[in-house]
Amino acid sequence: MQSQTTARGPAAVTAPGDDARATQAVDLREVRHAFGALIVLDGISLAMRPGETVALVGPSGCGKSTLLELVCGLQAPDGGSVAAAPAALVPQRDALLPWADALDNAALPLRLQGTRRADARRRAAPLLAELGLAGFEHAKPHELSGGMRQRVAFVRALLTGRGLLCLDEPFGALDALTRADMHRWLSDALAAEPRTVLLVTHDIEEALVLADRVCVLSPRPARIVCELAVPGDCPRDPADHELVELRRQAMEALRAC
Ligand SMILES: Nc1ncnc2c1ncn2[C@@H]1O[C@H](COP(=O)(O)OP(=O)(O)OP(=O)(O)O)[C@@H](O)[C@H]1O
């Protein structure tokens, strides 16, 4: 079931004449948001179909994380409306519990749903292993690298079972090889079990490798200045000539604003 937040607070998703909206996984309409006098988002409209992956790229501080927080219902917009399916957020900082080991951290959503600890750990273990963390199940967050912690947070988001994943620079702390492995793993995981993904990344190449659509945001206050549809199956080859051309277009849009 979708939730909808307007500038005036939560509202029913089945507003009269708004049936089409409930079929979108995300539907942002003219979203505006400010922190005091600092206007961060300035009229963002974006609809996402279920199963679609959309990447948001834009300069540092333009409002990408804020937009994810609005989609996840962690904040209400100051203007416009946000409708979205229940989402799992992988925040930029992993927000793991410092006293719990990697497996307990990953399994947290299952525990919150009432699963017994041993069962929750048993279900989380293969996912951690798939992401290259076999042998680190008992490590506490401070014993893991930044990239490892991100992957634990990623498994935790997957185990919420939610259909919408909001990923805030999920691969930012990874070396190039591990990042490419993660791109492959995510693409395979989404092919096996489709989810809607809203991905924030600084890396245009990563956006083009993973997303069906790339939205380029202006500097703050953010607007969508360019939307690029990306053809082909994921993960794509960044050397593909179509991707090279799309990368050029995205760079041009970023430079023009
Ligand atoms: N809770 C808050 N209170 C006040 N200002 C905030 C708050 N959260 C974010 N900001 C400001 O809003 C702007 C947008 O921040 P946000 O984190 O959304 O940008 P971003 O595009 O995700 O940045 P980055 O790419 O560097 O992670 C920044 O200027 C930031 O300082």
At 159, the pLDDT band (50, 70, 90 cuts) reads: very high
Percentage of the chain lying above the pLDDT 90 cut: 68
**Once rounded to an integer, what is the mean pLDDT over residues 152-177?**
90
Tokens 């989380």, located at residue:
124
Global pTM?
0.89
Instruction: Report the distance separating Cα 226 and Cα 55, nearest Å.
Output: 12
Backbone phi and psi for residue 134, each to the nearest 5 degrees, phi listed first: -60, 135
At 175, the pLDDT band (50, 70, 90 cuts) reads: confident
Dump pLDDT digits (tens) for 42-52: 999 999 999 99
Q: Is residue 119 part of a domain?
A: yes
Q: Is residue 156 part of a domain?
A: yes
Could you tell which of 31, 39, 40, 203 is best to mutate to test the pocket of ligand 1, judged by most ligand atoms within 8 Å of the CB?
40
At 233, the pLDDT band (50, 70, 90 cuts) reads: confident
Q: Is residue 213 part of a domain?
A: no
> To which H or E segment does residue 241 belong?
helix 241-256
Q: Is the preceding peptide bond at 221 cis, omega within 30 degrees of 0?
A: yes
Q: Is residue 109 part of a domain?
A: yes
Instruction: Report the distance separating Cα 204 and Cα 54, nearest Å.
Output: 12
ipTM over 0.95: yes
Is a pLDDT exceeding 80 seen at residue 209?
yes
pLDDT given for residue 2 in this prediction: 63
Helix (H, G, I), strand (E, B), or coil: what is residue 1? coil
Atom of ligand 1 nearest to the CA of 202: 25
Shortest-distance Cα residue to atom 28 of ligand 1: 61
Shortest-distance Cα residue to atom 29 of ligand 1: 61
**Once rounded to an integer, what is the mean pLDDT over residues 230-244?**
89
pLDDT given for residue 83 in this prediction: 95
pLDDT given for residue 9 in this prediction: 46
Q: Is residue 124 part of a domain?
A: yes
Tokens 């994810």, located at residue:
68
Could you tell which of 38, 68, 69, 71 is best to mutate to test the pocket of ligand 1, judged by most ligand atoms within 8 Å of the CB?
38
Q: Do 182 and 174 form a contact (C-beta atoms < 8 A)?
A: yes
Q: Is residue 80 part of a domain?
A: no
Report how many domains make up the chain: 1
Q: Do 157 and 142 form a contact (C-beta atoms < 8 A)?
A: no
Amino acid identity of residue 254, one-letter, is: L
Q: Is residue 200 part of a domain?
A: no
Range of the domain at 143: 96-161
Q: Is residue 118 part of a domain?
A: yes
Distance, CA 65 to ligand 1 centroid (Å)? 7
Is a pLDDT exceeding 70 seen at residue 18?
no
Dump pLDDT digits (tens) for 98-143: 999 999 999 999 999 999 999 999 999 999 998 889 999 999 999 9
pLDDT given for residue 11 in this prediction: 36
At 95, the pLDDT band (50, 70, 90 cuts) reads: confident
pLDDT given for residue 238 in this prediction: 86
